[in-house]
Amino acid sequence: MLCLLLFWEFAKIGIFCVGGGYASMPLIQAAVVDAHHWLSLSEFIDIFTISQMTPGPIGINAATFAGMKVAGLPGAAAATLGFVTPSFVLCIAVARLFFRYGSIGAIQGLLNGLRPAVVALICAAGLSFVALSLFGTEHFPRGLAAMQSAFDSRSALILALALVAARKKINVIHILLASGVLGIVLGAIG
């Protein structure tokens, strides 16, 4: 029954996952962290991180890892199939429609409307990740005193350096490796 629920939840995500893997992250978070409490936010961010480091599309990797955490190998299969099946069907249908009717103004208007919404979804997930990284909670603390007491300066340093490296178009693998090593070094220093 849990595998069927995993399939259903990830099928819903697959249907509404407009904009690629990063856009799926807030939807996956809403299902596995917020709605069903299968994972903590910290576990979800760990899965998100691992999904970026492993080969393949990030959304599919995240579905597989989340399913594995929730219900083992059958859960991984159910979540992955649930995530992929609607996207596969929709992709074929949309491709046929786009190549046949793509020049129609309504289609262009639809795409122009979806782009900012996808960016908003990615930003919302990113802000939750920043808050967890810097303050250890999904939401930014209220008030200066609360922010100061929860602020993790080591994580802020790694975040700032990784942002600079990303803007300089340094290879993502190098950024992740360097961030991991810096995390170990800063952790050892205390």
Own/partner contacts of 109-115, CB < 8 Å, gap of 24 or more, are 114/18, 114/19, 115/19
Q: CA-CA distances (angstroms) from residue 11 to 36, 44, 137?
A: 15, 18, 28
pLDDT tens, residue by residue, 50-95 = 888 788 788 899 999 999 999 999 999 999 999 999 878 987 987 8
pLDDT mean across residues, the chain:
89
What does the pLDDT read at residue 19?
A: 64
The long-range contacts involving 28-37, CB below 8 angstroms and separated by at least 24 positions, are 28/59, 28/62, 28/63, 28/66, 29/125, 29/128, 32/66, 32/70, 35/9, 36/5, 36/9
- Of residues 77 and 113, more confidence is placed in 77
Question: What is this structure's pTM?
Answer: 0.66
The pLDDT assigned to 18 comes to 67
Is the model's pLDDT at 33 over the cut of 90?
yes
pLDDT score recorded for residue 175:
94
Helix axes 41-53, 105-135, angle to 10 degrees: 120
The residue assigned the tokens 């099946």 is 85
Check if the beta carbon of residue 136 is closer than 8 Å to that of residue 152.
yes
